[in-house]
Amino acid sequence: MGTSAGTSDQIERLRAEGLAALAASRNESDLLDAKGRFFGKKGAISEILKGIGSLSVEERKVVGSEANRARAELESVFEERLASIREQERVAREGLDRLDVTLPGRCQVPGHRHPISQTMADIISVFRRLGFSVQGGPDVEKDYYNFEALNFPPEHPARDMQDTFYVESDAGDLVLRTHTSPIQIRTMERMRPPVRIIAPGAVYRSDSDITHSPMFHQVEGLAVDRNITMADLKGLLTEFCRMTFGPGKPLRFRPSFFPFTEPSAEVDIQCVICGGGGCRVCKNSGWLEILGAGMVDPAVFGFVDYDPEEFSGFAFGMGVERIAMLRHGISDIRLFFENDIRFLSQF
């Protein structure tokens, strides 16, 4: 070991060389190499510090502090260079690997629910939230359920309200149900009040033009209990319309006739197209008929053996296509059954 001055020179030289080596490093391994040679655990400066024991206390102080200073400086430059080189490498790497994020991902494009099915599901969901349970029934129906038990006697002109398809059968008079109302009878035959059901389904009438289809869909509702009133019916349907068409759409209840309800009502909503001012869709009346309803006729209770003095109830029914047409601005009912994907993918 030489003098302390010689050691200082050596440290200064190592510092200079170390800085030069760090500056010359082009990548992480060059840097690590330089660190190893000059100021790592086994680097030249560390070696000097290891040999410091042979020096006087004075010299030890001087050399120790010089070496530590040099090592700290190199260490700091190293960290700086390392960060900078890593950043350069990252930029270089990612530059090569850059992806076009606008290219399509690998997955299916979601399909579309049929507007009739969607509208029906929405109606069902509203009434289920209002405490109604779903009931189904057959499309090929007995005359008894479709007409007779709903208080359409044979040879009654009320039967003309619905152009009926008949089914060839050896098992009595079968029809394609003209409405979902037979489900009322089937349900009441099966259970005692309280009854609170909705019955969705396909129905059939012998009629075809831009607003009539030989097959279409209805949702029927029925509630029977002690003390059910027409005011309850009004309240429920008002709530339904608010949930379906949004708030602030006035409703109008107008007397009408259905054989299986009395008193009966037709429910109109203020025209969703013109807002009541009058247009082609509402035939200038400002109102759109959206459902039929009424209090269950005592004659119907007679068919299912409910006592009309004890129980009362209401029923209502609506055409799903009609509501879907109003919601989506569809003017020709036939579009629903063409299943043109360009049509379906609009909803």
Q: Which residues, 284 to 343, sit near another protein by CB under 8 A?
A: 295, 297-298, 312, 336-342
State in angstroms the smallest separation of the CB of 312 from another protein. Answer: 6
State in angstroms the smallest separation of the CB of 218 from another protein. Answer: 14
State in angstroms the smallest separation of the CB of 213 from another protein. Answer: 8
**Structure tokens of 225?**
């209990």
Rg of the chain over all Cα atoms, to the nearest angstrom: 43
Given the rule CB under 8 A, which of 1-9, 33-41, 48-56, 200-208 is the region that contacts another protein?
Answer: 200-208
Binding letters toward another protein, positions 105-144, x by CB under 8 A: -xxxxxxxxx-xx---x--x---x--xxxxxx-xxx----
C-beta of 54 vs 227, nearer to another protein: 227
Q: Tell me which amino acid residue 106 is.
A: R
Binding letters toward another protein, positions 41-80, x by CB under 8 A: ----------------------------------------
- Please name the residues in contact with 343: beta carbons below 8 A apart, sequence gap of 6 or more: 335
State in angstroms the smallest separation of the CB of 110 from another protein. Answer: 5
Residue 228: CB atoms within 10 Å = 21
Q: Which of 239, 229, 237 lies closest to 296 in space, CA to CA?
A: 229
- Please name the residues in contact with 310: beta carbons below 8 A apart, sequence gap of 6 or more: 226
Exposure string of 260-297, with b = 16+ CB inside 10 Å and e = fewer, is bbeebbbbbbbbbeeebeeeeebeeebbbbbbbbbbbb
Expressed in angstroms, the distance from the first to the final Cα of the chain is: 90
DSSP-assigned beta bridge partners for residue 225: 312
Footprint on residues 150-189 left by another protein (CB under 8 A): 154-158, 160-161, 165-172, 174, 176
State in angstroms the smallest separation of the CB of 96 from another protein. Answer: 18
C-beta of 5 vs 210, nearer to another protein: 210
C-beta of 36 vs 136, nearer to another protein: 136
Q: How many residues bind another protein (CB under 8 A)?
A: 92
C-beta of 2 vs 172, nearer to another protein: 172
144, 239, 243, 272: residue in contact with another protein (rule CB under 8 A): 239
Q: Does 98 bind another protein (CB under 8 A)?
A: no
Q: What is the DSSP string of 2-53?
A: --HHHHHHHHHHHHHHHHHHHHH--SHHHHHHHHHHHTSTTSHHHHHHHGGG
Return the residue matching tokens 């299916």: 108
Alpha-carbon distances of 175 from 102, 155, 169, 178, 223, rounded to whole Å? 56, 16, 9, 8, 26
Q: Does 278 bind another protein (CB under 8 A)?
A: no
Given the rule CB under 8 A, which of 20-28, 68-76, 197-205, 271-279 is the region that contacts another protein?
Answer: 197-205
C-beta of 25 vs 180, nearer to another protein: 180
